[in-house]
Structure 1
Amino acid sequence: MGALIWLASYPKSGNTWLRSFLHHLLANPPAPLPPDELRKFCFADDARIFFDRAAGRATQGMPTAQIAALRPKAQALMAATAKQSVFVKTHSLLGEHHGKPLINEAVTAGALYVLRDPRDVAISGAHHYGLTLDGMIERLANKAAATGNTPQAAYTLQSSWSDHVTSWTRHRHPQLLVLRYEDMEQQPTATFATVARFLGLSPPAERLQRAIDFSSFKVARDLEQKHGFNERSQHADSFFRAGRSGQWREALTPAQVARIEADHGEVMKRFGYL
């Protein structure tokens, strides 16, 4: 039986970018892979198929407390599918829901956590969820924020942006690597080389650079336009929208910026956003 390596983030913070880089680094294809190929590379922690297997029956419509109780077994089933470690995408809080762990540490090998300036997350999230900017700013502060409860995805809890980031980063742990979206964008070679080293990999420079190039935002956006992407929200025309840091300076009003900084200033300061 293998173990799970979590690729964790609050929604719209760079999780797909990290997954794409790792997919291209490990597969080393001669050309960029369509975004939907990520499904073959990485599990999603809310994939209902594993909850159905854990329950021995269909779980759609099941109360959230029962889903929470099934989650540790569902994650153990994910680990059991591989002889070695397997990557799992998650937007879950690192904590408990209905008294049950959202992350099963007994089958965990490690985690990479990506965070992004919440002022930019507000813009990207509003686009993805079909919310107004003010509505997304409210969601960033909502301790009950959750996703899932669809035919494909089980209900899971994110909580607020600050709580989510703090839950994953409050303790220094040798099996945890914390990344900032902005460093992935502005210092890609150094940042992604750190990712490779964390995973015990020493790729040649040209292979590392090829994975960085093939997973770039422009390439991903072009591939989505050509092939589509199953993770695109029904509220949005595309999954890959802009991919640029600092958009909040033009898109948010002073009052909206002040609200985000008031809600999340302590954590923002910790990671250099204030």
Structure 2
Amino acid sequence: MEPKLSPPLAHEHLKDILSNEEFVDILTTFPKERGIISSYSYQYQGFWHNPVHLHGIINFQKHYEPRENDIFLATAPKSGTTWLRAILYALINRKTYPPNDPNHPLLSKNSHSLIPPFELLKPSEYDSVCNSSDPSTRIFGTHCAFGSLPESITDIAKSSNRKIIYLCRDIKDTFISNFHFANKANLRPSPISLEDAFDLYCKGISAGGPIWNHILGYWKESLEKPDKVLFMRYEEMKSEPHFQLRRLAHFLGKPFSQEEENLCLVDQIISLCSFDVMSKLEVNKTGKGKQLISTGALFRKGVVGDWKNILTADMASRLDQITEEKFRGSGLSL
């Protein structure tokens, strides 16, 4: 039976996914549960995905052909993805597009279109990704777990100069952002209640989840391969943006020169990519993404600790307890 997708996931330009009989047959073999952001999630390689993202992941595993310096920005959904994609794009392209350029691409394009998630690309589109002045470098976004990335990325002996940047966020804030996004993105036939979303999230049934396993996968790799995988925290990005931006630039082998420091380029990038600037741009209020999601759904508050205004004390305690249990012995705390 053809899986049921709620609009706009089943919109015309994505219907070809469901016309692929081989994929539909495979899909029926995966564990299936109700989803938070989409109607249903399917478990693949230990993680939960909506059918569109799952199709994209399987395609990428099969068809990705690496370039020497490809960069991957990985996040669990709603962990500061839109913000860090903007920062990364501005950082990599700062010579071509100075951050104070009135025609900077970030002023007219959403960061998700400038750094596309490979889950939403067709194999024929991989080579056309052009978001760096260096032809050996493409920047891809992803919500994919580390273990589901192609071996040419995860195998250090094969990965050459390819880099992975991972951003995570306090689990409670991540859940709240997922919940609000689910009811703004219009990927469900009807809204989901806070209680239902919370129950699924605690069970690990969330986009790219279980989130604890998602985070731990990249955390462990960052400890083993610190020159290949950079682990970043949303809260540290908020509290010390200058330090974290310089850290990111150094990791990518593109540190700021003294001349750039004198020109206050770090300040300019942080200002350009700030929530206040990005959220007020017309493209980020009325634009549409590949899944026809309004770009306005990608922006909410961008603050730390908003969970305190929404979660009950019992809910917060439950998430903290699960997080403590999952991370025990890893050296990681959020």
Scaled by the length of structure 1, the TM-score of the pair is 0.74
Q: Which residue of 2 aligns with 1:166?
A: 216
In structure 2, C-alpha distance between the alignment counterparts of 1:4 and 1:226, rounded to whole Å: 26
- CA drift of 1:210 comes to 0.5
Q: Which residue of 2 aligns with 1:252?
A: 311
* In the alignment, structure 1 residue 20 sits paired with structure 2 residue 72: no
Q: Which residue of 2 aligns with 1:114?
A: 167
Q: What stretches of structure 1 of length at least 5 have no aligned partner? A: 54-73, 147-157
- CA drift of 1:78 comes to 6.6
- Secondary structure, counterpart of 1:28 in structure 2: coil
- Secondary structure, counterpart of 1:178 in structure 2: strand
Higher Rg: 2
In structure 1, C-alpha distance between the alignment counterparts of 2:81 and 2:234, rounded to whole Å: 9
- CA drift of 1:93 comes to 1.0
- CA drift of 1:271 comes to 3.9
Cα RMSD (Å): 3.1
2:119 to 46, 49, 54: 46
Task: Please give the per-residue CA displacement for 1:134-165, whole angstroms capped at 9, x wherever unaligned.
Answer: 3333343444544xxxxxxxxxxx12110100
Amino acid at match of 2:98: N
Contact 2:110-2:295 within 8 A present in 1 as well = no
- CA drift of 1:191 comes to 0.9
- CA drift of 1:23 comes to 1.8
* In the alignment, structure 1 residue 133 sits paired with structure 2 residue 194: yes
What is the aligned length? 235
In structure 1, C-alpha distance between the alignment counterparts of 2:278 and 2:327, rounded to whole Å: 28
Q: Which residue of 1 aligns with 2:238?
A: 185
Change (3 A) 1:2 1:268: same
Task: Please give the per-residue CA displacement for 1:141-200, whole angstroms capped at 9, x wherever unaligned.
Answer: 444544xxxxxxxxxxx1211010011111321211111000111111111111111111
Q: What stretches of structure 2 of length at least 5 have no aligned partner? A: 1-66, 184-191
Change (3 A) 1:122 1:40: closer
Once the two structures are superposed, the pairs formed by residues 1-274 of structure 1 within 5 Å of their partners are: 1-25=67-91, 26=93, 27-29=97-99, 30-31=101-102, 33-34=106-107, 36-38=109-111, 41-50=114-123, 53=124, 83-96=135-148, 101=149, 104-105=152-153, 106=158, 109-130=162-183, 131-143=192-204, 145-146=206-207, 158-171=208-221, 172=223, 173=225, 174-203=227-256, 204-205=260-261, 206-224=264-282, 228-231=286-289, 234=293, 238-266=297-325, 270-273=331-334
In structure 1, C-alpha distance between the alignment counterparts of 2:333 and 2:109, rounded to whole Å: 33
Change (3 A) 1:78 1:233: closer
- Identity of aligned pairs, percent? 23
In structure 1, C-alpha distance between the alignment counterparts of 2:240 and 2:201, rounded to whole Å: 27
- CA drift of 1:129 comes to 1.2
Scaled by the length of structure 2, the TM-score of the pair is 0.61
Task: Please give the per-residue CA displacement for 1:202-224, whole angstroms capped at 9, x wherever unaligned.
Answer: 22221111011100011111115
Amino acid at match of 1:13: S
In structure 2, C-alpha distance between the alignment counterparts of 1:83 and 1:7, rounded to whole Å: 18
In structure 1, C-alpha distance between the alignment counterparts of 2:128 and 2:159, rounded to whole Å: 9
